[in-house]
Amino acid sequence: MAHHQGMSLVSINNVIHQNIVQDRFHRDPRVRATQLLLQERVPQGVALAPPKASEVELETQFQPSAHSLIKHYSNPDSSTPRIHLLSNQNYSIMISTAGGGYSKCDDLAVTRWKEDATRDNSGSFIFVRDLTEDKIWSTSYLPLANLPASYKVSFGEEKVE
């Protein structure tokens, strides 16, 4: 392997001539443009890759920590849907702030849903009808899109409210 011998000679030359190879390398304008990145230190004690799924021990029940992140939304009608995913390995749901979404068990779709990054108009919905006044309500903003006086959606690690 000739390149090993070449690298050995370059290393010896670099030591004898006080880092001449590094100086030549850093004279290149492309290298100078990114020189700050070369000075960055590798963090100590940080995992370089996330653990594999098989290496992670699953908890039988979710235990929210004191630092659990909960996001609150007061407007269901955003330019792009805000969504939340919940799963327990077998059953998964995706729900948006407007109430659209889907559920599936393993790879079997439990509810129908059409993927659209700009619209949030599909999912399964629950309706309530007042028979005396012939009015219809939905338990969420969708599909009727009637904004009530107060609307709040909270996405937590283990729940959606």
The residues facing 95 across adjacent strands are 84, 101
In a domain, 59, yes or no: no
Do 78 and 32 share a domain, yes or no? no
- Does pLDDT of 13 surpass 80? yes
In a domain, 61, yes or no: no
pLDDT tens, residue by residue, 42-94? 667 776 677 777 776 665 555 666 667 888 888 887 777 888 898 988 899 98
The residues facing 127 across adjacent strands are 138
Do 21 and 97 share a domain, yes or no? no
Its domain, for residue 20, covers 2-38
The SS3 call for residue 28 is: coil
Residue pair 99/108 in contact by the 8 Å Cβ criterion? no
The SS3 call for residue 153 is: strand
Query: How many structural domains is the chain composed of?
Result: 2
Do 77 and 156 share a domain, yes or no? yes
Residue pair 153/161 in contact by the 8 Å Cβ criterion? yes
In a domain, 57, yes or no: no
Do 28 and 100 share a domain, yes or no? no
Do 151 and 76 share a domain, yes or no? yes
**Which tokens go with 41?**
């230190």
* DSSP-H helix ranges across 52-96: none
Strand stretches in 33-150, DSSP E? 71-73, 83-87, 91-96, 101-105, 108-109, 127-130, 135-138
Give the pLDDT of residue 66. Answer: 64
